[in-house]
């Protein structure tokens, strides 16, 4: 069991600016919830004008509690279930506000939702009933963690061996760069590709091929953010047929070419 949240910036297109202009933190949930939850993520902001953040989503469901105070003192709050997003996610923040989020492990929301997670893919739905987001986001980080722990434990997730299998497989895809094809993963575990497809759609919300490509692309983005990589070598490492294939995939998902992305981080 992990005792610290992962510290990588996979998926965040401008992590430096995020950490400079907002208060962004990750925390682990209570031990009984770590089976299902990747981490809690908290964002506090007080900005003049507007702040836009773009993210290439993980293959994960998020539960998002948001409490805003606008520039004219108007207060708004929401609680949403955000399914796996297959496209670039962009959000603009203004005024003063807080977000308390729960990022579930891929497959980890199924024991709470108890329905096919593919129903949530590319959708954001209000959670009803739900606690007051102002209350969940009140206090310091320990207060917020306790509020989220209490809520999720009270939801009483049902043990699900298939969800456990989906979580193990997606974590294997994330950490083992050698997994580049669905049929390779299927042979490794002695199952059919059709069974993997059904398992992933039901418990993760997207197919295993999409998960493999998304994690490999997120690694390419993180490597690029650390400095201009050898794109041809990186493409080969990540299982792309050639550099042009990586460039096309990168541009299609992020809306910007790899070279322009690296340049934007230098001038941002």
Mark which of 95, 128, 155 sits at the end of a domain: 155
- Answer yes or no: is 5 within a domain: no
What are the structure tokens assigned to 262, written together? 């690296």
Same domain, 31 and 141: yes
Same domain, 147 and 167: no
- 101 closest CA partner among 50, 65, 77: 65
- 213 closest CA partner among 252, 186, 263: 252
| CATH of residue 215 | 1.10.10.60
Q: Do residues 166 and 104 make contact, with C-beta atoms less than 8 angstroms apart?
A: no
Q: How much is the average pLDDT of 217-240?
A: 88
Q: Do residues 137 and 80 make contact, with C-beta atoms less than 8 angstroms apart?
A: no
Same domain, 166 and 120: no
User: How far apart are alpha carbons 173 and 238 in whole angstroms?
Assistant: 12
Q: State the pLDDT at residue 174.
A: 94
Same domain, 50 and 150: yes
Q: Which domain holds residue 200?
A: 161-267
DSSP string, 31-83: GGGTTTEEEEEEEEEEEEEEEEEEE---S--EEEEEEEE-TTS-EEEEEEEE-
What are the structure tokens assigned to 241, written together? 């047929």
The model carries a pTM of 0.93
The backbone torsions φ and ψ at residue 58, rounded to the nearest 5 degrees and listed phi first, read -75, 165
Taking 70 as the threshold, does the pLDDT of residue 47 lie above it? yes
| CATH of residue 140 | 2.60.40
Taking 90 as the threshold, does the pLDDT of residue 1 lie above it? no
Q: How much is the average pLDDT of 69-78?
A: 74
* Cis peptide upstream of residue 129 (ω within 30 degrees of 0): yes
- Answer yes or no: is 1 within a domain: no
Mark which of 101, 124, 155 sits at the end of a domain: 155
Quote the number of domains for the chain.
Answer: 2
- Answer yes or no: is 127 within a domain: yes
Taking 80 as the threshold, does the pLDDT of residue 94 lie above it? yes
Q: How much is the average pLDDT of 146-173?
A: 96
In tens, the pLDDT along 185-211 reads: 999 999 999 999 999 999 999 999 999
- Mean per-residue pLDDT over the chain, rounded: 92
Same domain, 183 and 92: no
Q: State the pLDDT at residue 195.
A: 97
Taking 70 as the threshold, does the pLDDT of residue 71 lie above it? no
Q: How much is the average pLDDT of 119-135?
A: 96
Taking 90 as the threshold, does the pLDDT of residue 144 lie above it? yes
Q: Do residues 10 and 103 make contact, with C-beta atoms less than 8 angstroms apart?
A: no
What are the structure tokens assigned to 109, written together? 């929301």
Same domain, 39 and 117: yes
Instruction: Please give the distance of CA 1 from its chain centroid, rounded to a whole number.
Output: 20
Backbone φ/ψ region at 5: left (φ over 0), alpha (ψ -120 to 50), beta: beta
Q: State the pLDDT at residue 263.
A: 87
Taking 70 as the threshold, does the pLDDT of residue 72 lie above it? no
- 94 closest CA partner among 73, 71, 75: 71
């Amino acid at each position: 069991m992990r005792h610290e949240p992962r510290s990588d910036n996979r998926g965040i297109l401008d992590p430096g600016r995020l950490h400079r202009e907002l208060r962004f933190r990750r925390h682990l949930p209570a031990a009984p919830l770590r089976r299902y939850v990747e981490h809690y993520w908290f964002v506090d902001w007080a900005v003049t004008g507007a702040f836009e953040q773009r993210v290439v989503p993980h293959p994960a469901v998020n539960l998002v509690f948001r409490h805003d105070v606008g520039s004219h003192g108007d207060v708004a709050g929401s609680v949403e279930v955000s399914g796996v997003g297959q496209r670039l996610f962009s959000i603009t923040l203004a005024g003063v506000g807080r977000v308390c989020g729960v990022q579930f492990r891929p497959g980890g929301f199924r024991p709470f939702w108890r329905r096919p997670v593919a129903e949530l893919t590319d959708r954001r739905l209000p959670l009803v009933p739900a606690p007051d987001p102002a209350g969940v986001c009140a206090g310091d980080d320990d207060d917020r963690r306790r509020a989220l722990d209490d809520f999720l434990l009270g939801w009483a997730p049902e043990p699900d061996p298939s969800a456990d299998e989906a979580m193990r497989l997606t974590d294997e895809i994330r950490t083992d760069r050698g997994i580049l094809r669905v049929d390779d993963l299927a042979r490794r575990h002695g199952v059919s590709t059709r069974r993997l497809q059904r398992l992933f759609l039901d418990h993760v919300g997207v197919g295993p091929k999409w998960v493999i490509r998304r994690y490999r692309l997120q690694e390419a983005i993180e490597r690029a953010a650390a400095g201009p990589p050898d794109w041809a070598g990186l493409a080969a490492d990540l299982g792309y047929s050639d550099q042009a294939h990586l460039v096309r995939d990168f541009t299609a998902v992020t809306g910007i070419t790899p070279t322009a992305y690296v340049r934007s981080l230098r001038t941002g």
